[in-house]
Amino acid sequence: MGLIKLLPDILASQVAAGEVVERPASVVKELVENSIDAGARRITVEFQRGGAGLIRVTDDGCGMDRSDALLCLERHATSKIRESADLAAISTLGFRGEALPSIASVSRFRLSTRRREDDGGTLIEVTGGKIHEVRDSGESPGTRIEVADLFFNVPARRKFLRGEQTEASNLLQQIEILAVSHPEIAFTCLRDQREVFRLAATEDLAIRLRDLYGEAFLRKLTPVSPQESQGVKVHGWIARPGEGRSDRTLQMTFVNGRMIKSPILSLPLREACDGVLAKGLHPPAVLFFEMDPSAVDCNVHPAKREVRFRDPGVIRSVALQAARSAWENAGPAAGFSPKAGSDPLFPPIAGTVWKPAVLSTQNELPVQSVESDRSARVAESPGSTAHSMSAFGIQSSVQAARFLGQLAGRYLLFEELESLMVLEIRAARERILYERFLKRLGTGELESQHLLLPEILEMSPADLAWIDAHRSILHAAGLVAESFGQGTVKVDSVPADASSLPVMEILVRLMDELRTLGDSPTLDPAGREALAASVSRLAASGAKLPAGEEAAMMLLKELLSCDLPYATPKGRPTLTQLSPGELQRRFTA
Ligand code: ADP
Ligand code: MG
């Protein structure tokens, strides 16, 4: 060809760019997927200033000759659909021939590429959609694409970009997804010229997960051995029973090799956890679903993140089955690691069926000692407080209360003016700590406990970027941490009230909680409330049970001296009461 020409309809490309390219992370996705399609064995992703400054993807794939290199910058030029029949059978990752022209229309774009069999390569430079340079270049085989100053010519879109740290974190997250779905490809990532990770190619997904997320994360997972039902196959890894996180960034579900977020895939995983994982938590998982391409429509979402399944029922049952069989195979011994509070609300017990433990109508009150066997406890769902008891209108006074005992390691029972009062220990602590933390945050940081030996923890690249971006809010929560090189973070101090929990757990849970506050949580009044609520939930889960009558009375007293004693910041009841009338009604035939 050798013809320099203007890209057709630049404007149309820019419009399309709005759909395909929302942010640096989506550019990386499109470029890396192209490299994967090109058969690359090694892919290097470099980026600067969160990707808004520069993204450079280099691969050792098949490369392009000059005419193809020029052609690929035209809209709807794709080497991936030969006939319309191919549309239904998408075997490659991309197929719309829109990504490169779209990206080139909104950036300073440079493509250099060379096929292995050719003597020389081609370099093409495009600025805002106009090709202004095509020449020979002496590249090594493969393709390198540079995208500089993304959206430089579309200020409205550039304004939409978040802070550098947020974009970097999203971008790293995207590379993680691609690296997880292709362990057979070596990945290297450099951020602002510093190496973030270098992943060796491997046939073993477990090794890729370990290299990316660390040994500790891998130990939390159990394999899902390949299985198939009605044409839908699945394999991968899923968290052991009871392991959960409140955000879903570590839940990766792939359909025919492409990461897909869909409730049809994620809800069954959560459903499988009912009874072993508190509400609001999700099991980390990396699951690969394979099905006939015609059973899934990928063209629903321009960036191909959503799909429509022909038969969602089958998908659901396969996903459920995957989780359950993995846990059966995990065996009871390995199945549940009794690590304190891996669930923020209740200690999860694998396999227990929920029964209301308290005040069930037929039984007497099974009052147990503090040391009651963990396994005898019943995991109860947060909303299940016996509904016949009202949390409102309690006229409690500490003076009139008499301590009766503890129940199920979770409740304190008091008699008060012929009523039975039940205090939920963890909820009560949450309320007490919340009010204390809120006052304290008004004047400074939460108390922190300095660790004698700082802990070095392995974290994912995206998490590390997040931690560095949010050091000050973590600090306000009492946690002092900074990245320490080679995929690790160094933790020097933890919130004093949570210091009995494992450091990794404090960090991960705090991070999950803070992430729900949005991209850049601040310490305005609303931010302080949210932070106090998060840390109080964390700290309450790590606190020891009150031992003995004096401690029990003290807890009641502290609770009743709160401004709003009867519920946690999230509205969970802390104290409830069964009146003489209510008791009598229950004993009337
Ligand atoms: P699509 O991936 O949907 O085909 P793109 O705009 O992403 O559309 O890419 C257009 C074409 O450019 C691809 O079909 C492929 O032929 C070629 N191409 C893009 N990136 C690469 C690469 N890294 N190596 C080899 N060929 C590539
Ligand atoms: Mg593509």
Q: State pLDDT tens for residues 272-300.
A: 887 777 777 889 999 999 999 888 876 66
Cα gap 582→420, rounded to integer Å: 10
Tell me what pLDDT residue 112 has. 97
Ligand 2 centroid to 31 CA: how many Å?
7
Quick one: pLDDT band at residue 338, thresholds 50, 70, 90? very low
Contact (CB, 8 A) for 318 and 279: no
Q: What is the mean pLDDT of the chain?
A: 80
Question: Is there an atom of ligand 1 within 6 Å of 114 CB?
Answer: no
Tell me what pLDDT residue 311 has. 87
Angle of CA points 209, 182, 216, to nearest 5°: 0
Give the mean pLDDT of 214-223. 87
Residue nearest to atom 17 of ligand 1 (CA): 72
Residue nearest to atom 19 of ligand 1 (CA): 34
Residue 82 has pLDDT above 80, yes or no: no
Cα gap 326→329, rounded to integer Å: 5
pLDDT in tens, 13-31: 666 666 668 899 999 999 9
Ligand 2 centroid to 188 CA: how many Å?
20
Atom index in ligand 1 nearest the CA of residue 99 equals 6
Ligand 2 centroid to 287 CA: how many Å?
23
Tell me what pLDDT residue 529 has. 87
Residue nearest to atom 8 of ligand 1 (CA): 97
The residues pairing with 237 across neighbouring beta strands, listed in sequence order, are 223, 286
CA dist list (Å): 34 to 43, 55, 131, 209: 11, 14, 21, 23
Give the mean pLDDT of 212-216. 86
Give the mean pLDDT of 191-201. 93
Question: Is there an atom of ligand 1 within 6 Å of 426 CB?
Answer: no
Tell me what pLDDT residue 96 has. 60
Residue nearest to atom 18 of ligand 1 (CA): 34
Tell me what pLDDT residue 277 has. 76
Tell me what pLDDT residue 6 has. 42
In the chain, the percentage of residues whose pLDDT exceeds 70 is: 79
Instruction: Say which amino acid occupies 588.
Output: T
Tell me what pLDDT residue 16 has. 65
pLDDT in tens, 229-250: 899 999 999 998 778 887 777 8
Residue 379: exposure state from Cβ atoms within 10 A (0-12, 13-18, ≥19): buried
Question: Is there an atom of ligand 1 within 6 Å of 142 CB?
Answer: no
> Could you say which DSSP state residue 448 is in?
E
pTM of this structure:
0.65
**Which regions of 138-185 does DSSP assign to beta strands (E)?**
142-148
Residue 93 has pLDDT above 70, yes or no: no
> Could you say which DSSP state residue 446 is in?
P
What are the residues whose beta carbons fall under 8 Å from the beta carbon of 155, sequence distance 6 or more? none
Residue 419: exposure state from Cβ atoms within 10 A (0-12, 13-18, ≥19): buried
Most confident of 94-108, 468-482, 506-520, 559-573: 468-482
Give the mean pLDDT of 456-467. 89
Question: Is there an atom of ligand 1 within 6 Å of 534 CB?
Answer: no
Angle of CA points 403, 390, 432, to nearest 5°: 55
Question: Is there an atom of ligand 1 within 6 Å of 38 CB?
Answer: yes
Beta strand 285-290 pairing with 251-255 = parallel
Give the mean pLDDT of 322-345. 51
Quick one: pLDDT band at residue 553, thresholds 50, 70, 90? very high
Contact (CB, 8 A) for 65 and 115: yes
Atom index in ligand 1 nearest the CA of residue 97 equals 8
Tell me what pLDDT residue 48 has. 97
Residue 396 has pLDDT above 80, yes or no: no
> Could you say which DSSP state residue 299 is in?
T
In the chain, the percentage of residues whose pLDDT exceeds 90 is: 42
Residue 367 has pLDDT above 80, yes or no: no
Tell me what pLDDT residue 325 has. 86
Quick one: pLDDT band at residue 121, thresholds 50, 70, 90? very high
Q: Mapped to the 3 state alphabet, what secondary structure does 465-495 carry?
A: HHHHHCHHHHHHCCCEEEEEECCEEEEEEEE
Quick one: pLDDT band at residue 448, thresholds 50, 70, 90? very high
